[in-house]
Amino acid sequence: MTRLLLVSSLLLWAGASSADDAPAPPPAALGSASPATRTLDEELFEVFRRANQAYLAGDYAAAITGYERILNAGRIHPDVTYNLANAYYRAGRKGLAVLFYEKTLSKNPADEAARFNLSLVQKELIDRVLPTGGATSAEPPWEAFVRSLPPTGLTYVFLGLYLVFFAVAVTRRFVRSRPLYRLLFWVNVPLLCLALVAGSLLAARMYAEERVHYSVVIVPTAPLREGPERTAKALMELHEGLKVRTLSESGEYVRVRLSNGVEGFLLRNQAGEI
Amino acid sequence: MRGVRHHAVVWLGVMLCLSFSAAAGEVSFSASVDRNVVGLEEMFTFTLTVSVPDISRIEKLTLPDTGTLKIFSQREQTATTFSLSGGSQDFRRIKSVVMVLKPTREGATTIGRASLRYAGQTYTTEPIAIQVTKSAPQKKPRQRSPGPGMSPFPFDDDFFRSPFDDPFFRSPLDEFLGRPREIDEKDAFVEAYLSPDVVVQGQQVTVTLMVYSRIDARIGETRWPKLDGFYSVDRDVSGARTEQKFIDGERYMYKLHQQKALFPLKAGEITLDPISVEMVLSASPFAQETRTLKTRPLKIKVLPLPEAGRPADFCEANVGRFSLSAAVDTTQATLNQPVTLTLTLRGTGNIHQVRAPEFPALDKWKRFDPAVDIQSPKAGAEVRGTKTIEYVLVPLASGEHVLPALRLSFFDPQDNRYRTVQTEPITIQVAASADSPAGTEPGREVNLLAGTFQPIRFESTLSGHGPPLYRSRAFLPLLILPPAVWLLLLLGSAVSRRLQSDSPRGRARQAMARARGRLKQATRHATAGRAPEFFSEIKAALLDAVEARLGASAQGMLIEEIRRGLSADGVGTAIVEELLRELENCDFGRFAPSASRGQEMQDSLQRSRRLLQELNRAGKRSAP
């Protein structure tokens, strides 16, 4: 049994660590408390405050500029992307509004305000993808589920279960009392099961985050072409705000798939990646 | 080709029947007309048929006197048939003379006898009476005048008549034996007509394209000129049938090919360029020719809409004759529940472009963009139909509401004046909810607090939402460290065990463990009453205990060696002596099993356990 636990934990470890090829976070995200960072923080807070004032005054262009400046400084915060999405919507740029609501939700799936505003904007979009036997949603159900899980919370849960499991396993090695030895074994069995479930969900979340990419059409109209060339036949015309799955890149084009399975090529600058 | 195939079938039928009739008599000679009562100026066909075994033996064929009937055209045909009768073949030659006749005078007249002199004999046909009326009579079955020797075979009259009645019919034998006819310009032509050619702006003009041909023809592509300045609607003429018509004495087949309804968008004189039709013409299967036929240009005069009496809300697209009605799906509505207002516009005119009145925005109603549906049958020259506009209205307050009347002004070209039609106002009772009926709280409004756009955020930490934790540098070490520690522990434990097994102490522990195992085995033997096996295990257990104590195998040691060894190792003399007695007792029990009882085995077991504990406990262990 001990060997079984050992093999299971090794597999769990291997599965989780194989997906962990993400780049290191930018220094700004680590939140060091150096004087230079404090100055940057103060400056960004001032930009945020001014952008909010511009939004309230109806100067959406100025608000957009301010929010984008914060994002360009590396502060990809859901509050900023949410405000930027609102500003784009007020400015009539529905495609970019959808893009930044989606970015907000990818950061914080529990953001109800962003979800609500996104649903309002989606009602005003032109494109409705007709089903062709497949799913009508842009994401398959399993993917929508794992994306709804908060990545940081899920990581904490997994790591907690994982560390406790190994702590108990190590402790057992030093226990002389046979009843306690057996008790620790039965404590470890559910811990291992929960750690495996949490690890699987985390691995799926990481896969969805790192390997499956979505884009949103950000220009009023974009022809979906048969091939990655301007002379290729246009299959249909897409309109701003439509969410598509990005499959690959080919020169200045990206190959995308609609939720009903139709595939084609979009100019890279016509689709913003979430 | 279909016409040619049909003619070939008919022709073969004629040949067959004549061959049968000829089989009954040697010579067949007959005359027939396609009708006996004809209108003045109407042409009909007279056919004279000769069927003989050898055409070279015809000495003379005299055509009949047609009297007041003018011979419009005349042609001869010859064919060969054969029949099998009683195992012998009978070849015959058939000669026919087809004459198209035209009356010149009203009243009764007669086509005289025709005569044939063949092989020295003379055959004649009967005279045929023709009644010429002023107008073309109803079509009646024709009368045949059978000649001498002709069999009264019951043929279908129309079937028999078909190939010979058609003055332009060319049988397959014609095509193979005769010379193909040249195609000339008069063989086919196209014409376009306007109806009417003077209209007001927005009124329908119908352009009809007709195709005429007197030979086999197939219609190809049709190209219309640019119809700039018109709103064009194609009409469905798929049900049009091919008919025949005499033009300058020639019979033509004609067909309504295409038709368009044009609605001029501006006033002035507009010239419609020729319409071209590509046609494949064939006078024979081997003489086909593709020609592009064109109509003459057409001129349309478009008058401006009159200024006098023009309503203020008139739209220039509204020309025709229309009616307007409005209806709602319910007059008992519920707050915040939609009501559908259906506006129906019916009539004759450009139903596609006519502008329906727009429902105004009301304070207490939310109005959504309407859904428009146009139903316009394509058949018929005149464009007519129904335009339905559906508004979804949501009441925002309870009480009684009146949807206002809607007006539509249009110009009626038939009456040449402007007219206005309007709907009736519609009263709707709106209840506050489904449970409270409308009118129970008249005048009281309800403030609807629906979901609205969520505002921006004014407070933010602008931090704490960096990349996910699994992207941090600490994540991988956190994953690797716990199993690594665990594995190291396992490894260390295994190494330690291995090292201990090679030391004197390790060997002593192993020997003592063996001794305990043997005692357990001896217990089982005692329970089963197996005395020799029991004492054998007890002795082995005690020797293992001695080995654990001395660090060397006690098997084969003499009693004295054991005594010396244990004493030297610090084991008390009493214990040593008791051990040696127990060893002797085991030997006695092993070799004299009859003396062993169950109680004795239990006593020996207890003593041995105590000895093992004493040996394990007493004094210091021996060094290697």
Of the listed ranges B71-85, B108-122, B310-324, B589-603, the one predicted with least confidence: B71-85
Boundary-marking domain end, from B137, B155, B177: B177
Residue A20 and residue B468: Cβ atoms within 8 Å?
no
Whether B328 and B274 map to the same domain: the answer is no
pLDDT higher than 50, residue B168: no
pLDDT higher than 50, residue B197: yes
Residue B574, helix vs strand vs coil: helix
pLDDT tens, residue by residue, B270-286: 999 999 998 888 776 66
Residue B611 placed within a domain: yes
Query: What is the pairing mode between strands B37-39 and B69-85?
Result: unpaired
User: What band does A2 get if pLDDT is binned at 50, 70 and 90?
Assistant: very low
Residue A156 and residue B469: Cβ atoms within 8 Å?
yes
- As a whole number, the mean pLDDT across chain B is 79
Model-wide pTM > 0.90: no
Of the listed ranges B197-206, B257-266, B310-319, B433-442, the one predicted with least confidence: B433-442
Whether B31 and B152 map to the same domain: the answer is yes
Whether B236 and B333 map to the same domain: the answer is no
C-beta of residue B468 within 8 angstroms of C-beta of residue A152: yes
Residue B624 placed within a domain: no
Residue B576 placed within a domain: yes
User: What ipTM does this complex have?
Assistant: 0.70
pLDDT higher than 80, residue B433: no
pLDDT higher than 90, residue A97: yes
Residue B467 and residue A31: Cβ atoms within 8 Å?
no
Whether B23 and B118 map to the same domain: the answer is yes
pLDDT tens, residue by residue, A233-246: 888 888 889 989 89
Residue B465 and residue A78: Cβ atoms within 8 Å?
yes
The answer to whether A23 contacts chain B (CB < 8 Å) is: yes
Q: Which stretches of A91-177 are DSSP H helices?
A: 94-107, 112-123, 141-147, 151-174
Whether B52 and B155 map to the same domain: the answer is yes
CB-closest option in A30, A77, A173 to B493: A173
Residue B497 placed within a domain: no
CB-closest option in B460, B467, B471 to A79: B460
Q: How far is A103 from chain B, CA to nearest CA, in Å? A: 12
Whether B289 and B330 map to the same domain: the answer is no
Whether B210 and B291 map to the same domain: the answer is yes
pLDDT tens, residue by residue, B285-310: 666 788 889 999 999 999 999 998 89
User: What band does B1 get if pLDDT is binned at 50, 70 and 90?
Assistant: very low
Structurally, chain B folds into a number of domains equal to 4
Q: How confident is the model at residue B172, as a pLDDT? A: 44
The answer to whether A20 contacts chain B (CB < 8 Å) is: yes
Q: B258 lies in which domain range?
A: 185-303
Boundary-marking domain end, from B431, B461, B493: B431
Boundary-marking domain end, from B156, B177, B198: B177
Whether B423 and B517 map to the same domain: the answer is no
Q: How far is B453 from chain A, CA to nearest CA, in Å? A: 6
The answer to whether A70 contacts chain B (CB < 8 Å) is: yes
Q: How confident is the model at residue B173, as a pLDDT? A: 47
Q: How confident is the model at residue B152, as a pLDDT? A: 33
Q: How confident is the model at residue A207, as a pLDDT? A: 86
Q: How far is B461 from chain A, CA to nearest CA, in Å? A: 8
- Average pLDDT of the segment spanning B453-477: 81
Q: How far is B4 from chain A, CA to nearest CA, in Å? A: 46
Residue B486 placed within a domain: no
Which of A 180-209 lie inside 8 A of B, CB atoms?
202, 206, 209
Residue B383 placed within a domain: yes
Whether B120 and B6 map to the same domain: the answer is yes
Greatest mean pLDDT among A114-118, B288-292, B357-361, B569-573 lies in A114-118
Residue B286, helix vs strand vs coil: coil
* Token pair recorded at residue A134: 């497949």
Identity of the amino acid at B223 = R
Q: How confident is the model at residue B103, as a pLDDT? A: 87
Whether B91 and B198 map to the same domain: the answer is no
Of the listed ranges B11-25, B241-255, B259-273, the one predicted with least confidence: B11-25
Whether B344 and B249 map to the same domain: the answer is no
Of the listed ranges B2-16, B173-187, B395-409, the one predicted with least confidence: B2-16
CB-closest option in A25, A44, A107 to B462: A44
pLDDT higher than 70, residue B157: no
Residue B573 placed within a domain: yes
Q: How confident is the model at residue B97, as a pLDDT? A: 83
pLDDT tens, residue by residue, A163-220: 999 999 989 888 888 889 899 999 999 999 999 999 999 999 888 888 888 999 999 8
DSSP single-letter state for residue B57? G
Q: How confident is the model at residue A131, as a pLDDT? A: 58
Residue A22 and residue B485: Cβ atoms within 8 Å?
no
Residue B604 belongs to a domain with what CATH number? 1.20.120.330
pLDDT tens, residue by residue, B512-561: 888 999 999 999 998 888 888 899 999 999 999 998 888 888 888 888 88
CA–CA dist B325, B330 (Å, integer): 16
Residue B438 placed within a domain: no
pLDDT higher than 90, residue B472: no
Own/partner pairs, A201-205, CB within 8 angstroms, 24+ separation:
A201/A146, A201/A149, A201/A154, A201/A158, A202/A16, A202/A151, A202/A154, A202/A155, A202/A158, A202/B470, A203/A15, A203/A16, A203/A19, A204/A142, A204/A146, A205/A146, A205/A147, A205/A149, A205/A151, A205/A154
Residue B70 belongs to a domain with what CATH number? 2.60.40
CA–CA dist A43, A51 (Å, integer): 12
Whether B377 and B344 map to the same domain: the answer is yes
Residue B396 belongs to a domain with what CATH number? 2.60.40.1530
The answer to whether A141 contacts chain B (CB < 8 Å) is: no
- Average pLDDT of the segment spanning B390-416: 88
Q: Which residues of A touch B467 (CB under 8 A)?
A: 22-23, 25-26, 29
